[in-house]
Structure 1
Amino acid sequence: MYRLVPKCVLNFKPTAQKPVEYKYGPRSVAIGDFDNDTVLDMVIANHIMNKIAVYLGRGDGTFKDPTMYSTGSYSSPYMVTV
């Protein structure tokens, strides 16, 4: 027994190639308690700026402004891990 499948009437629209623009090249994110206050913090590797950024958690789901650490000229940090 065969069934006929109805024709799809959905209309799909293409999305932009890069809907999110990354100006500074973040590549890797890690979460951990870096300052031992029992609140989760975040570290991000930024390969274009040769830096890592540490965002300390406030405890309410938001983060303080980042502290930037240089990894040296042409180091291109791609990964961070905890």
Structure 2
Amino acid sequence: MYEYAFELVPFTLLLKPKVDYAEVTRQYAEQGWRLAHVVSVPSNEGNGQAIQLVFERPSKGPQDVTRADYQAPPNFNGR
């Protein structure tokens, strides 16, 4: 069983990433996450797009947010 974390990396109008996705990946890796997929996300406005980074790691069992030892996945984009 695996648990997953998702990180959206938006792009500017010139299609440059607004976030250093390599650094985001390194930060997740330091916490035991592995980059599993990169998904292209088109914009609704048609003025740019984003990518969704999908991270995974082996689950330690059911992740109940009421458990005292539960740690939420990191969120490095400040959301």
Q: Which has the larger radius of gyration?
A: 1
Q: TM-score, normalised by structure 2?
A: 0.29
Q: TM-score, normalised by structure 1?
A: 0.28
Q: Which one has the bigger strand percentage?
A: 2
Q: Which one has the bigger helix percentage?
A: 2
